[in-house]
Chain A
């Protein structure tokens, strides 16, 4: 991405994990607590190195497991601190009760989750099932496409989580292996600019803190009056996060010269008849294939989800309304619905899309790679649908046997 603020940064060739660690350092957290897990380990190694070198002035708690990591950062957050942690897959699962508690306490924790499969303990491969399985924990979910966006989203996550009007924990997701270990050029901003970007948080009213000796309790027990009110307030804050994130994206552009379009990024959508909807690293591959298809006259575009929770339905409807056909690519499963989770959720808004037809693609799970050939297949099928042809509703792109069995 061309930036008008090149001079305000330096290009470093780093991995997605290093980009996350550097972003965490630039945000100047008070407390970091984390436990290593493939493919997230490098983040913790780098932060430990920064801490050991004196480049990071934070309390670094090397806990014995992820559950403690989340409890530690939640407590530090409730005490008023800025916090960071990172996990993946089984680590996310192992802190599940604590992520629910952090959301319920409205603790503005920022966490990176490096997406990895969860079905079966040997599932050391990419996939979003870990994200999907925690989608309604009450956190805001953001998803990055490349190493630059990893860095940018972690910084933006602090603005969102700690905003006085939001105060909801934020999880930044990116694909394990395909992004966690991808080395590419990243514009690393200077500390003074990051300080400026985050300084807004110091000028807002101070959030409620739990301090020793203070007459304040924390944690809703759910039996007293007000519990329903808290649930509704949480829901309202999540809705407010949509417009807030759009504004943060614009402010980020003013300082750093990069904008992604807010909740969703539209790629060659203007005159597209057919659109793929995707998220994460697959979007880079999809863009490359779209350019090849466009050169051959195919009117195809991409709608990239950058926020997944709250589900940015309004922005998606606005971008997709009137398109002839939509193919949604999911790298996870949603049992009982046949189609993928994001497909299923978008399907709930079908009546507002102005007659767009929809199909679902499952790919990039269980060690499969979303290849350029697979993307071309998805584009062809979505274009067939746009042309009025009969196309099956759900396709497991890397597993033709699924179609042969006719099981779905």
Chain B
């Protein structure tokens, strides 16, 4: 089982990112479970979400304290201690950032993916909502699933032109994420 923690802010689609990935895993015959943790729903407030992805049914209903992978949608949190809290050795990080130089560090971080998801989202859907780009980039970085089930999963959340644009977002995320071994 891979345990993934997502960090972002209300309005970025953090929760949807984790939902789409759970959905994509289910489409491959595997199992995904995700949930966010926040108090009142507010745009701009820090949001954390958790995702568990496995080839067996996921039964745990507790927050994730020792993630294998961390996904950061909000670049301002990239060096926040809360983001790296409990990261397991051999850990991976996916960062949404306009700066593609390596400016994060943690003793357990071995693989880093950087994607300018805000820019791609702005170009494709006209809104700075990076979530579907991040979904595609996650598939590539983690190697846990292919891009097709991610695009298929988008059908449950978008339709028409928005669906088409978000599929392009996911594909661009998959193709354009820059990977670094640390």
- CB proximity of A58 to chain B, nearest CB, Å: 24
Q: Which residues of B contact A181 (CB under 8 A)?
A: 15, 35-36
The answer, among A38, A287, A370, for a CB contact under 8 Å with B59, is: A287
> Closest residue of chain B to A16, judged by CB?
B35
Cβ-based interface call for A344 (8 A)? no
Please tell me if the beta carbons of A182 and B34 are within 8 angstroms of each other in the complex.
yes
Q: Which residues of B contact A282 (CB under 8 A)?
A: 61
- Whole-angstrom distance between the alpha carbons of A78 and B26 in the complex? 42
Cβ-based interface call for A177 (8 A)? yes
- CB proximity of A95 to chain B, nearest CB, Å: 21
Cβ-based interface call for B129 (8 A)? no
Please tell me if the beta carbons of B62 and A370 are within 8 angstroms of each other in the complex.
yes
- Whole-angstrom distance between the alpha carbons of A12 and B156 in the complex? 9
Give how many A residues have a beta carbon under 8 Å from the other chain's beta carbons: 28
- Whole-angstrom distance between the alpha carbons of A146 and B35 in the complex? 12
The answer, among A13, A182, A370, A372, for a CB contact under 8 Å with B35, is: A182
Please tell me if the beta carbons of B59 and A183 are within 8 angstroms of each other in the complex.
no
> Closest residue of chain B to A291, judged by CB?
B59
Please tell me if the beta carbons of A185 and B62 are within 8 angstroms of each other in the complex.
no
Please tell me if the beta carbons of A13 and B59 are within 8 angstroms of each other in the complex.
no
Q: Which residues of B contact A178 (CB under 8 A)?
A: 35, 61-62
Please tell me if the beta carbons of B23 and A13 are within 8 angstroms of each other in the complex.
yes
The answer, among B26, B40, B62, for a CB contact under 8 Å with A285, is: B62
Q: Which residues of B contact A284 (CB under 8 A)?
A: 59-61
Q: A184-B22, A185-B32 are contacts. A371–B65 as well, Cβ < 8 Å?
A: yes
Chain A 203-240, CB within 8 Å of chain B: the 1/0 string? 00000000000000000000000000000000000000
> Closest residue of chain A to B58, judged by CB?
A184
Please tell me if the beta carbons of B32 and A184 are within 8 angstroms of each other in the complex.
yes
- CB proximity of B62 to chain A, nearest CB, Å: 5
The answer, among B31, B36, B60, for a CB contact under 8 Å with A372, is: B60
Please tell me if the beta carbons of A371 and B35 are within 8 angstroms of each other in the complex.
no
- CB proximity of A178 to chain B, nearest CB, Å: 5
Q: A181-B15, A183-B18 are contacts. A11–B26 as well, Cβ < 8 Å?
A: yes
Cβ-based interface call for A369 (8 A)? yes
Chain B 24-63, CB within 8 Å of chain A: the 1/0 string? 0010000111111101110000000000000001111111
Which residues of B approach A to under 8 Å, CB–CB? 15, 18-19, 22-23, 26, 31-37, 39-41, 57-63, 65, 153, 156
9 shortest interchain CB distances as A-B pairs? A284-B59, A281-B61, A13-B23, A124-B39, A182-B35, A184-B33, A183-B19, A185-B26, A284-B61
Q: List 7 A-B contacts (CB under 8 A).
A: A13-B26, A13-B32, A124-B39, A179-B61, A183-B32, A184-B32, A288-B59
Additional A-B contacts beyond A13-B22, A179-B61, A370-B62 (16; CB < 8 A): A13-B19, A124-B39, A124-B40, A125-B39, A181-B15, A181-B36, A182-B33, A182-B34, A184-B32, A284-B60, A284-B61, A287-B59, A369-B62, A369-B63, A371-B62, A372-B62
